[in-house]
Structure 1
């Protein structure tokens, strides 16, 4: 089964993060298992935020902006990934609110031209003590603004 992934415009916003699909990520049909896409997107985001100094190291009170929870996840599969190798995840922010954000993503070819899946996820920043929504720090917001997708 070979399918051509839809092509995408050249990358003009966000970040393209490399990811590796391993043989054991494939299902019994030889396709990238549907549950692996969100996992690889999560790993790409974790790496990107770590580059900006945001990480979780076991202490929720000290985690600051890394103390957040997923409110919503949407994903659409466009074409199957049929072999192991190097791919990429294109990441960007659609919205950066006071306590929440919406990010977009594409699971794509390593050069970003072919799209296999795309979607969005809503995160809410939490206060570690109360687990209630809390505002993002200004440092986090500054890093996030660099990832905002231009309007239109």
Structure 2
């Protein structure tokens, strides 16, 4: 009789949005060995960049070429629920709460790789900008189509 080796449950797809893997490195931790509070938004931003890149959007640092990536943060909220105490594999669950003409609100959860444990959650409001005037500008049809796939449905 062979011994059964327990296996970790496979990550389940969230009911809405996407679960994007991220890595916490040793130097992301503070002097007490906790993920520094300022690192959560950085890791969330990296997850969004990876996700939008999958949709074909590019982030080049050139305002005129940036298109829909020419945007600014209007508001950021983060609530910390449990400490992250070690480097390793984690995930960020991403979704859109609202997709307006020139702005959007996205939600996020910083979580375990399978999405079961939440360490932090929050929202971020972005405004799409015209690269010449830096005034609000409408999202492209291509961006809106990609964004609709990430909208959280009314539960």
TM-score computed with the length of structure 2 as normaliser: 0.91
TM-score computed with the length of structure 1 as normaliser: 0.92
Structure with larger Rg? 2
Corresponding position: 1:20 with 2:23: yes
For 2:119 and 2:84, locate their aligned partners in 1 and report how far apart those are by CA, in whole Å. Answer: 7
| Distance apart, 1:10 and its partner CA | 6.7
Deviation per residue, 1:22-47 (Å, 9 max, x gap): 11111011100000000000000011
Deviation per residue, 1:96-137 (Å, 9 max, x gap): 000000000000000000000000000000000000000000
* Equivalent runs, 1:8-87 vs 2, <5 Å: 11-87=14-90
Structure 1 unmatched runs, 5+: 1-8
Q: What number of residue pairs does the alignment pair up? A: 144
Give the 3-state SS of the residue equivalent to 2:144 in structure 1. helix
| Distance apart, 1:58 and its partner CA | 2.9
Native 8 Å contact 2:21 2:89 kept in 1? yes
Deviation per residue, 1:49-93 (Å, 9 max, x gap): 011111221321111101000000000000000011000000000
Root-mean-square deviation (CA, aligned residues, Å) is 1.1
- Which residue number corresponds to residue 123 of structure 1? 126
For 1:58 and 1:87, locate their aligned partners in 2 and report how far apart those are by CA, in whole Å. Answer: 27
Partner of residue 146 from structure 1, selected from 127, 145, 149: 149
